[in-house]
Amino acid sequence: MRAVIFDIDGTLLHSSKLDDETYISAIHDVLGPVQFRKSWSHYKNVSGSGTLLEILGDNNIGNTADVLRAVEEAFVARISSHIEKHGPIMEVPGAKDFVSKLASSSDCQIAYATAGWLASAQIKLRSSHFPVDGIPLASCNDHIDKATIMTHACKQLTAPFDSITYYGDGKWDELAANMLGWHFVPVGKKLNGLRHFS
């Protein structure tokens, strides 16, 4: 039995640019004109909640549950509004069929592991008609660092596995997979990986 776990943004969906813009806008909506570091790579935990905690620290803003929830809710609302206005987010070519085929396979179990928030991930996957029901989806609501999010997704699967494979588009995905001893399949231009699933 194989385990196959997928990142979402930039891996299954062309949503990375939208997420970046929405994340910054949601933070400004709630916190005002805060300062960001020069690049996401300058943050230790590149996840919705992890990066937010570091942004709050950099700007001397208390990381209360109300503040964290407000930014998350602003982000999810903006993603929902975008999809309502513009339709589903475009999939990476072949991704939906590839995931659906694995989901129905008798020798494979799948899960999603995203650095984004759970609600926004569900909205994006459902609107783009990816399989969701009955499939574990770990997110930054569970943990702030990607490796732990990935591990959390895998622990929700039921069988002992001969192999665990992770599909991701970011360097932090590759580093986390290597740290966990998982097979890693790069997706997208940044890692010179897959441009389509087949």
Could you tell me the two tokens for 121?
């991930």
User: Quick one: pLDDT at residue 93?
Assistant: 97
Q: How far apart are CA 194 and CA 26, in angstroms?
A: 31
Cα→Cα distances 140→45, 126, 162, 194, Å: 10, 18, 27, 25
The amino acid at residue 78 is R
Q: How far apart are CA 77 and CA 137, in angstroms?
A: 20
User: What DSSP letter does each residue of 105-161 carry, written as one string?
Assistant: -TTEEEEEE-SS-HHHHHHHHHHTT---TTS-EE-TTT-SSHHHHHHHHHHTS-S--
User: Which CATH number fits the domain that encloses residue 105?
Assistant: 3.40.50.1000
pLDDT at 63 over 90: no
Residue 179 included in any domain: yes
Residue 103 included in any domain: yes
Q: At what angle do helices 16-31 and 48-58 cross, to 10 degrees?
A: 40
pLDDT at 23 over 90: yes
Q: What is the overall mean pLDDT for the chain?
A: 96
- CA nearest 161: which of 142, 138, 182, 176? 182
pLDDT at 10 over 90: yes
Residue 129 included in any domain: yes
Residue 198 included in any domain: no
What is the mean predicted confidence (pLDDT) over 3-24? 97
pLDDT at 38 over 90: yes
Residue 100 included in any domain: yes
| Residue 187 contacts residue 11 (beta carbons within 8 Å) | yes
Give 198's pLDDT tier (boundaries 50, 70, 90).
confident
Domain with 131 in it:
2-14+89-191
State whether 72 and 94 are in the same domain.
Answer: no
User: Quick one: pLDDT at residue 120?
Assistant: 98
User: Quick one: pLDDT at residue 146?
Assistant: 96
pLDDT at 44 over 90: yes
- CA nearest 125: which of 8, 47, 19, 22? 8
Segment 139-176, tens digit of pLDDT: 999 999 999 999 999 999 997 899 999 999 999 999 99
User: Quick one: pLDDT at residue 159?
Assistant: 77
pTM: 0.95
Segment 87-130, tens digit of pLDDT: 999 999 999 999 999 999 999 999 999 999 999 999 999 999 99
